[in-house]
Amino acid sequence: MAFAAANAGQAVPRIALAGILVVVVGGLGHVYAPRVLPSSLDRGFWLAGAGLVGALIAFRETASLIVVALVALLFTFLAVCGRSVLYFLVRRARRRGRAAPTLVVGAGPHGHGLARNLLAYPEHGLLPLGFLDETPGEDPCVPVLGGPGDVVRVVQAHGVRAVVIAGQGQQSIARTARSLGCDVYLAPDLGELIIDFVTLREHVRSFPLVRMRPEAQRGLAWPLKRALDIAVALTGLIVSAPILALCAALIRLETGPGVLFRQRRVGYRDEPLELIKLRTLKPTDALESETLWSIAHDSRIGPVGRLLRKASFDELPQLWNVLRGDMSIVGPRPERPHFVKEFSRTIPGYGLRHRMPVGITGWAQIHGLRGDTSIEDRVRFDNHYIDGWTLRADLKIMLQTVWSLLRPGGG
């Protein structure tokens, strides 16, 4: 598109904008998404739409609509031709042994059928090395390399780059394989309920495949989360500086020297961090600080401390934690090591909260789950936020947090 516009004598900014819009529209239509068996006609309407948008921007003031349409058609034709050549070379390379070493989880009849087809048709790019299962089943076409608990050992020992789960109920294996850098696919059997609930875009000889979503940390929007954190934390510290100074003076008058309270918490990927707050209560000793669950109704808290806690002003120094990179603005709230051990042992899914950087506010907090509330509910809300993370979700939670602080009875 840029080449056509340049040859037509268009201005450089218009050329650049046309090229950028072609890529953006293609991205929105998942034109560049990886496929097990790519086809040049996949996402064809989005390719044509990208060409039309680019042509309108590049030629809308210097050519007729007929010329714009012809340029868009030419772009679409050349794009399809280019993809055809590229995909032919990809399939050829796969047939010559360039397929990804693959582990099939489940050595039942469904897993065997899938593995046999992958061996017979290497152009799909998944070459099964073996199964992961407790029992080998009957006449396996490739060996059983271990049980479900051996996924880390097998992936690392055999250089596995893709994992196909032939069945359901293997979420821990899927997440472990994804964290090891593998592409993970679910291959549901005929009659499984999930087939009626998801769009089946990929298949191996009509064995449906569902590609596992990549971790949020591998997405293009992830660096923007950190950029947003820095911008909000820096702005927040500057704007709240007079409030912090006033709060510090009031705390010193009420409880004496030492206005900041530092406490060990467990953060992202179980890494320790030192959380900073304004001190609203001076603990008796370190043990009380580490193991006392809530001080919301402690009679030792004075009027100033209660006011700061109600308005959430005691949380403002955590903006410094965010600026340092210990925390994010939005994420699961960090907890003390003593309670992390206890809850990880008794509450399913608690440890999964540490897949995302901890935050000052979060999905659980804006739904009233703060202080002495249900830990099970918090775990469910936090994991729901992590599983579906988007930058838009962070912005929504920030706005709802501000509203909850400003509205009557909020905080």
Which tens digit of pLDDT belongs to each residue from 161-180?
Answer: 999 999 766 788 999 999 89
How many other C-beta atoms are found inside a 10 Å radius of the C-beta of residue 227? 10
On whether the CB atoms of residues 401 and 367 are closer than 8 A, the answer is no
Give 306's pLDDT tier (boundaries 50, 70, 90): confident
On whether the CB atoms of residues 51 and 71 are closer than 8 A, the answer is yes
Provide the residue type at 49 as one letter.
Answer: G
Mean pLDDT in the chain? 87
Averaged pLDDT for residues 361-367: 93
Rounded-to-integer distance, Cα 381 and Cα 374, Å: 11
Q: pLDDT tens digits for 51-77?
A: 888 888 887 766 678 888 888 898 899
Asked whether residue 138 carries a pLDDT value surpassing 70, the answer given is: no
In the DSSP assignment, the letter for residue 190 is T
- Residues 93-122 as b/e (b if ≥16 CB within 10 A, e otherwise) read ebeeeebbbbbbbbbeebbbbbbebbeebb
| CA torsion, ordered 345, 350, 355, 360, to nearest 10 deg | -120
Rounded-to-integer distance, Cα 361 and Cα 328, Å: 9
Asked whether residue 135 carries a pLDDT value surpassing 90, the answer given is: no
Q: pLDDT tens digits for 5-42?
A: 777 777 788 888 888 888 999 888 888 888 888 888 88
Asked whether residue 281 carries a pLDDT value surpassing 80, the answer given is: no
On whether the CB atoms of residues 195 and 208 are closer than 8 A, the answer is yes
Rounded-to-integer distance, Cα 100 and Cα 77, Å: 31
Asked whether residue 273 carries a pLDDT value surpassing 80, the answer given is: yes
Rounded-to-integer distance, Cα 49 and Cα 69, Å: 11
- Residues 260-287 as b/e (b if ≥16 CB within 10 A, e otherwise) read ebeeebbbbeeeebebbbbbbbebeeee
In percent, the amount of the chain with pLDDT more than 90 equals: 50
